[in-house]
Chains A and B, each alone.
Chain A
Amino acid sequence: MKWEVVVGIETHTQLSTASKIFSSASTAFGAVPNSHASAVDIALPGVLPVLNKGAVERAIRFGLAVGGTINRRSVFARKNYFYPDLPKGYQISQYEIPVVQGGSIAIVSPTRGAFRVALTRAHLEEDAGKSLHEAFDSPGGLGRGMTGIDFNRAGTPLLEIVSEPDLRSSEEAVAYAKTLHSLVKWIGICDGNMQEGSFRCDANVSVRLAGDAKLGTRCEIKNLNSFRFMQQAIEFEVRRQIELIEDGGTMVQETRLYDPDRNETRSMRSKEDAQDYRYFPDPDLPPLVIDGTWIEQVRAEMPELPESMAHRFVGDYGVPITDAVQLTASREIARYFESTVQAPVGVHLSGKTAANWILGEITARLNRDGIEIEQAPVRPHEFAQLLARFQDNTIAGSIAKAVLDRMWNSEIGGEADAIIAAKGLRQISDSGAIEKLVDDVLAANPAIVAEYQAGKAKAFNSLVGKAMAATKGKANPAQVNAILKRKLAG
């Protein structure tokens, strides 16, 4: 039997406002418990919520970025349930008419290539507080066997973004989550900090026989606070569901929690009652009206989006599309690339080369040092100078990498030209000198020459290697190749 995996993702994106969605308390993370919990956030009697314009503006920005419909009129509803970190007994959310409907996000699947994931909706809501279950068991402590509640997070604005079940593997789910993560950071609506819970994903996972039109029964997996966990959790869940069905079992729709320590999902305590949130329009909040003027103002302030920028990089700089997608993973990487290729270094830098070096050499050094590109010790105009020397054949590629290391460590002022001059790294392109070099190599290695002439093609590379080594990599490799080939033939 051939099984098909079906995944949809719900993402809670914490919006980067200074104050909460319905109160003017701070949204800052990590404050002293309950110091950012206002009368509204702890639901004292008689308080009224007043909606934060900044949260709505960010929702509009998202709607525009994904090409969704911004509803001119949307409605806040009460989602009723009882839990101690929800002091009102309901969460203010949006139900029937969300602020954004539809839209899509372009992703690159490792198996199916580029396609668009359709979005169902994105709606505004408030976050709940935090329950601390562990800390109150100290002997003699007041709160023995109690749960502690911190309402600092209560009322933090969230945009819940719901995708259609368009994803067909754990890898595609991760590709979608990563693309969405970089998009919300790109348009400045969320800081994307997953450790602090600013970007939280739940995955709806089901399986069906390939070719079936009807979706299988799904499970919702919670607690996916990293991309790695998301992939592992979905893979586990898919295996579990297939085994269950193949063994003749029946899938039950339920919410499951991912446990990264055991790498498994398990059923959250089943509730006696099926979830019934009894949504109804919140009488405290009349409909949210967004007029066309506001939408156009937000549109005018939108940055160029990663997708269109990637296509521009292909058109303007001749970068392959796969590289362009990687270069637009963040605004910082994109800016680094564009500043590099536009730097006034006297030559027209190849965009393809710059992309290769940024995605290869620069990225490797950033990963090694655990820093972001905006902290790279080599700035774009300095890097451009190095690429120019590589491109005009002043230095070979291997030497350029060594020069980059010296620049990275700020040796000799960190300037490519100064380092090349001081260390005598200039490429040897004088054909007379290379002729002599090749003659020396041929004379010193008669055994390898004999092997080559006996038909062992690999021996040629060995001779090139000897020539490069003799000049510590400074000989122009193309010239060495050409001259060596000619001499061996002659």
Chain B
Amino acid sequence: MALSVDDVQRAAHLARIEITAAEAFDVQNKLEGVFRLIERMRAVDTTGIVPMSHAQDVMLPLREDHMSESDPHKRDLYQRNAPAVEDGLYLVPKVIE
């Protein structure tokens, strides 16, 4: 599968990763290396093998529906990391006009 520089730029934009035009060619090369690897793996006969959605064959552990986190002081602790807060809200640059 061929990957264009436009594909690379689009994927970078979707992931909010800034890459320059020069870097894009380098990234394109590396990703094409990944695709070549995938091509080689596709040659393996997987007939009758159920696809795995997870690297480990384990079951998802579940927790009982108990509310056990209600420490109001935690909020202040967490918000110490935030660049800006007001009235208990995290402030971010305006997202709509």
Flag if A131 contacts B91 (CB, 8 Å). no
Q: Is B88 an interface residue (CB 8 A)?
A: yes
Flag if B88 contacts A52 (CB, 8 Å). no
A39 to B89, CA, bound (A): 15
Minimal Cβ-Cβ distance residue in B for A272: B13
Near A by CB (< 8 A), chain B positions 42-81 give 53-56, 58-70, 72, 74-75, 78-79
Q: Is A465 an interface residue (CB 8 A)?
A: no
Task: Choose the segment among A28-36, A210-218, A401-409 that binds chain B (4+ C-beta atoms closer than 8 Å).
Answer: A28-36
Flag if A148 contacts B86 (CB, 8 Å). yes
Q: Is B96 an interface residue (CB 8 A)?
A: yes
Per-residue CB contact flags for chain A residues 298-340 toward chain B (1 = under 8 Å, else 0) read 0000000000000000000000000000000000000000000
Chain A interface residue count, Cβ-Cβ cutoff 8 angstroms: 58
Flag if B58 contacts A286 (CB, 8 Å). yes
Minimal Cβ-Cβ distance residue in B for A32: B88
Flag if B67 contacts A148 (CB, 8 Å). no
Flag if A283 contacts B86 (CB, 8 Å). no
Minimal Cβ-Cβ distance residue in A for B50: A73
Complex contacts, A119 vs chain B, CB 8 Å: none
Minimal Cβ-Cβ distance residue in B for A83: B95
Distance in angstroms from B9 CB to nearest chain A CB is 11
Given contacts A18-B65, A24-B63, contact A149 B86 (CB under 8 A): no
Given contacts A50-B61, A84-B95, A289-B59, contact A34 B88 (CB under 8 A): yes
Distance in angstroms from B39 CB to nearest chain A CB is 19
Q: Is B16 an interface residue (CB 8 A)?
A: yes
Interface of B, secondary structure class, is loop
Complex contacts, B66 vs chain A, CB 8 Å: 18-19, 24
Interface of A, secondary structure class, is loop
Flag if B53 contacts A281 (CB, 8 Å). yes
Near B by CB (< 8 A), chain A positions 53-79 give 53-56, 75-76
Complex contacts, A17 vs chain B, CB 8 Å: 65
Near B by CB (< 8 A), chain A positions 333-352 give none
Flag if A24 contacts B95 (CB, 8 Å). no
Q: Is A162 an interface residue (CB 8 A)?
A: no
B67 is contacted by which of A26, A44, A53, A151 (Cβ under 8 Å)?
A26
A265 to B69, CA, bound (A): 41
Flag if A146 contacts B94 (CB, 8 Å). yes
Flag if A147 contacts B70 (CB, 8 Å). no
Flag if A35 contacts B78 (CB, 8 Å). no
Flag if B84 contacts A51 (CB, 8 Å). no
**17 A-B pairs whose Cβ atoms sit less than 8 Å apart in the complex:** A19-B66, A19-B67, A26-B70, A33-B88, A34-B75, A34-B79, A36-B70, A37-B75, A54-B64, A80-B14, A131-B95, A136-B86, A146-B93, A148-B86, A148-B91, A276-B14, A286-B58
Chain A contacts to B: CB under 8 angstroms: 17-19, 23-27, 32-39, 42, 44, 50-56, 75-76, 80, 82-84, 97, 131-133, 135-136, 141-143, 145-151, 269, 273, 276, 278, 281, 283, 285-289
